[in-house]
Amino acid sequence: MDHVQPPETRPGSPGPTRRSFYSAAIYGIWGVITAALAAPALIYLLVPPRMRRQSEWVDAGSLSQVPTGTPVEVTFRQNRVDGWKVTSETNTAWVLKTANNEVVAYGPQCTHLGCAYHWDSGKNEFLCPCHNSVFAIDGRVVGGPAPRPLDRYETKVEGNKLLLGRLQISPEKSA
Amino acid sequence: MKALNGLIEWLDHRTGIHTAARKFLYEEIPASSGWHQVFGSVALFLFLTQAFTGAMLAFNYAPTPGEAYNSLRYILTELTGGRLMRGLHHWGASLMIVVVVLHMIQVFVYGAYKKPREATWMMGVVLLLLTLGYGLTGYLLPWDNRAYWGTVVATNIAATAPVLGPYLTRLLGGPGIGVVTFARFFGLHVLLLPPVTALLIGVHVYLVRKHGVAPAPGDEALPKKQFYPRQVFKDTVAIFAAFIILFVMAVAVRVPLEQLADPTDTAYTPRPEWYFLFLFQFLKFFNGPLEVVGSMVLPGLAVLLLILVPFIDRTQMVKVTRRGFAFGFVVLAALGWGGLTAAAVVTTPAEAREAAVDYSAPTDWMQLSPEEMAGIGYFRRENCVTCHAIDGSGSQIGPDLTRTTIHRNAAWMIPHFKSPQGVRPGSSMPAIQLGDAQLNSLAAFLLKLNPQNASALENAPDFAVQGALVYQTNGCSDCHKVNGVGSDIGPSLNGLSKRRSRSWVEEHFGDPPKLSPGSSMPPFKFPAKDMENLTNYLFSLPE
């Protein structure tokens, strides 16, 4: 396999100590260069962007339109930071006003694979059409493959106005 | 170890890779080989680094005008390590040109282009042109004023080419510079040039291998050496030195980003990258119909001459110490290049009076009201940072001013500024000797300060802060609005730079009714420096 003479036997070759110094230096330097390029590149690709924009509260309309005890789908406009752009897009939430006047706003996507679910008023449950996940009115998983309860928006009520904050991802295992 | 050897043997049996690598590394090189032959390897290394950092930038870059600028700003201000990536790519380009030219000088001085290595040399000249091509096409990609106006000049030069001019203009997406030109330059820079370069480097290296490293006279009598490890070691050390220079430049020397390209900006003086400055200066010697001589004919002849060097000098190989003519030629060329470059630097008008805002840093200070900006001025003047930390960094003597828990209201702050011990017994803070209006500005700024906008404090350029101080002390906000703050008696001053010229604004201060009849604005006589700062500040305001 080796068509080339072993270097040690060559005239004018550096001696074995020299040789190992050279190869150690070569490997060492290339190791340093590779690390010095790879580490910043990984940081650059993996560290999330610094967000200079404060979390905004979005006006999701008047609470008087929300009946007590039945979730309704509320549509609102929201600015979304997308890389170097801020896009204004329509978003929805399922808003529920409970009897003791607490407000809950669920994110509109099923926690299984992100399909849009809907409220089945006959069964009093949220149903996802994709894989038949079922959620109770408090967001708990009642059936189907969904791994965690419905996600909730941060909510704030000012006067009669409903303000929505960030979507909080609910932890796995039902709350 | 045994398992590793087994694996290598298995792999070699299937692919021959180990044998190939050994063949490559144990290639015989002349006894005279040494440090003077490291430049080719360094150039190859820099090319690969450029490809890598270029790909990294492309991962967060949108190649259309406007978007390009915004995405680059995102890389610089929002992404950790983004500034480093751009620095490596920017300075890597310069360093690559330096190293390629050094490589060429070495080959030239040693006469290594002589028979049978003519093709290797010619391929090298083409690679030099490709390297310059990257510089030319990459210059447009940030899409700031510098990029735009530099490329206007470059494409206009291409248009002066005899016969080919109009076709070149078409090829570069002209006439004019817009989305099409941008797409062409981007396509050339990242899609066409890299594979062509890689291919030609392959041919170049193949030719070097085919003919062997050029021996010096007298090498025939000496035993040959092997490429590995001694020469590989030398190449590696040289590469490391270049890498350290590149890395230090990328970290320490900030690459500015100017304002978004503005095709209506008539005051802008374009200036090319340093390695093209000599051409820029050379062009000034040719006017009118002779211009094409300076822009095309002579540079074209120079390149042709460079390509034909091996056929012009067909003498026998001699020792490098006896190549006085070649040395002299290099020295003359270096002097000519250096002289032209120096002349270009000296004769180009000094940076326009327009204070340049560095858009490669966050510009959230632009959103502040003049009062808050003036507050930054007082904050700096009073050296608040000697005792107070900002967002966790700095002195710990006083509390961190970005911590919202210490934020009160102006009614608490101002008495506290005047007499810290009166409000907070035992405080070691000295009283601030400023008037009420000034303390109000300071409080207005501090009330806005939070970890998110603390960078405004650092990044607000001095001219803007000084300008805001002039604005504030002269009560401009009694009649004008800036960033939504102020009164509506006079026009809002945002976007002033789009409506009025600098000279108009400066003359207007002295005699408003003369320039805008019916204006109720009183005349203002500012010292020159104040006038400059105020105008610069107003011109930097967003629309």
CB B475 within 8 A of CB B372: no
Domain positions in chain B are 1-26, 31-347, 364-539
For residue B279, the surrounding DSSP H or E stretch is helix B277-282
Rounded to a whole number of angstroms, the distance between the first and last alpha carbons of chain B is 68
Q: How far apart are CA A18 and CA B40, in angstroms?
A: 25
**Per-residue model confidence (pLDDT) at position A3:** 45
Q: Mean of the per-residue pLDDT values for chain B?
A: 89
* Chain A residue nearest residue B73, CA to CA: A84
The tens digit of pLDDT for each residue in B418-438 reads 888 888 888 888 888 888 888
Is the per-residue pLDDT at B290 higher than 60?
Answer: yes
* Spatial distance between the Cα atoms of A147 and A110, rounded to a whole number of angstroms: 10
Kindly state the average pLDDT of the residues B88-115: 96
Residue A88 to chain B, least CA–CA distance (Å): 17
Model confidence at B143: pLDDT above 70: yes
- Which one is predicted more confidently, A23 or B446? A23
* Eight-state DSSP code of residue B144: B
pLDDT tens-digit map of B526-540: 898 898 889 888 888
Tell me the three state secondary structure of residue B411: helix
Per-residue pLDDT at A175: 42
Q: Does CATH place domain A58-168 in 3.40.50.80? A: no
Q: For A1, which of B19, B232, B364 is closest by C-beta distance?
A: B19
Contact (CB, 8 A) for A116 and A94: no
Which chain A residue's Cα is nearest to B12?
A: A1
Percentage of chain B beyond pLDDT 90 is 42
Q: Extract the tokens encoding B221.
A: 């009598």
Q: Which residue has the higher pLDDT, A85 or A94?
A: A94
Minimum mean pLDDT among A27-31, A83-87, B218-222: which range?
A83-87
pLDDT, residue B406, reads: 60
- pLDDT value at A11 more than 60: no
- For chain A, helix (H) and strand (E) counts, in that order, are 1, 10
Report helix, strand or coil for B400.
Answer: coil
Q: Which pLDDT band, with edges at 50, 70 and 90, does A2 fall under?
A: very low
Q: How far is CA B390 from the centre of its chain?
A: 29
Work out the pLDDT band at B75, boundaries 50, 70, 90: very high
**Structure confidence at residue A5 (pLDDT):** 46
DSSP B60-95: T---STTHHHHHHHHHHHTSTTHHHHHHHHHHHHHH
Query: Which of the two residues, B92 and A78, has the higher pLDDT score?
Result: B92
Alpha-carbon span B297 to B306, nearest angstrom: 14
Mutate to test the interface with A, among B42, B85, B257 (most CBs of A within 10 A): B85
User: Residue A61: its pLDDT value, please?
Assistant: 84
More confident residue, B432 or B71: B71
Is the Cβ of A86 closer than 8 Å to some Cβ of chain B? no
Q: Show residues of chain A in contact with B12, CB under 8 Å.
A: 1
Which whole number is the average pLDDT over B434-459?
80
Residue B44 has pLDDT above 80, yes or no: yes
DSSP for residue B478: G
pLDDT (tens digit, 9 = 90+) per residue, B457-484?
777 888 888 899 999 888 898 999 998 8
pLDDT, position B351: 57
pLDDT of residue B94: 96
Among B residues 364-383, those touching chain A with beta carbons less than 8 Å apart: 364
Q: What's the average model confidence in pLDDT over B174-196? A: 94
* Interface contact A11, partner B, CB < 8 A: yes
Q: Is the pLDDT of residue B440 over 50?
A: yes
HSE toward the beta carbon, residue A165, CA cutoff 13 A: 11
Average pLDDT in the B284-302 region?
Answer: 88
Q: Topology of domain B31-347, per CATH?
A: Cytochrome Bc1 Complex; Chain C (1.20.810)
Task: Give the pLDDT confidence score for residue B349 in this predicted structure.
Answer: 66
pLDDT at B103 over 60: yes
Integer CA distances (angstroms), B217 to A79, B30, B32, B143, in order: 73, 10, 9, 52
Q: Is B229 in Cβ contact with A22 (below 8 Å)?
A: yes
Tokens coding B214 = 């050029």
pLDDT (mean) for B68-80:
92
Beta-bridge mates of residue B90: none
Q: Is A36 on the interface with B (CB under 8 A)?
A: yes
Q: Are strands B393-394 and B389-390 parallel, antiparallel or unpaired?
A: antiparallel
Q: What is the mean pLDDT of residues A3-17?
A: 59
In the block, which residue shows the tokens 């930097």? Answer: B540
* Res. B451: pLDDT tops 80: no
Residue extents of the structural domains in chain A: 7-46, 58-168
Task: Check pLDDT > 90 for residue A167.
Answer: no
CA dist B539 and B525 (Å) reads: 19
pLDDT at B183 over 90: yes
Closest CA to B207 of B123, B332, B301, B106: B123
pLDDT tens figures, A59-70 = 888 888 888 888
Q: Per mean pLDDT, which range of A80-89, A98-107, B217-226 is the poorest? A: A80-89
| Max avg pLDDT among B61-65, B242-246, B467-471 | B242-246
- pLDDT 10s digits, B313-355: 998 888 888 899 999 999 999 999 999 999 988 887 655 545 5
Average pLDDT, integer, range B52-59: 97
Integer distance in angstroms from the first to the last C-alpha of chain A? Answer: 66
Range with lowest mean pLDDT among A45-59, A81-95, B139-153, B424-438: A45-59
At the topology level, CATH places domain B364-539 in: Cytochrome Bc1 Complex; Chain D, domain 2 (1.10.760)
Mark yes or no for CB contact B56/A45 under 8 Å. yes
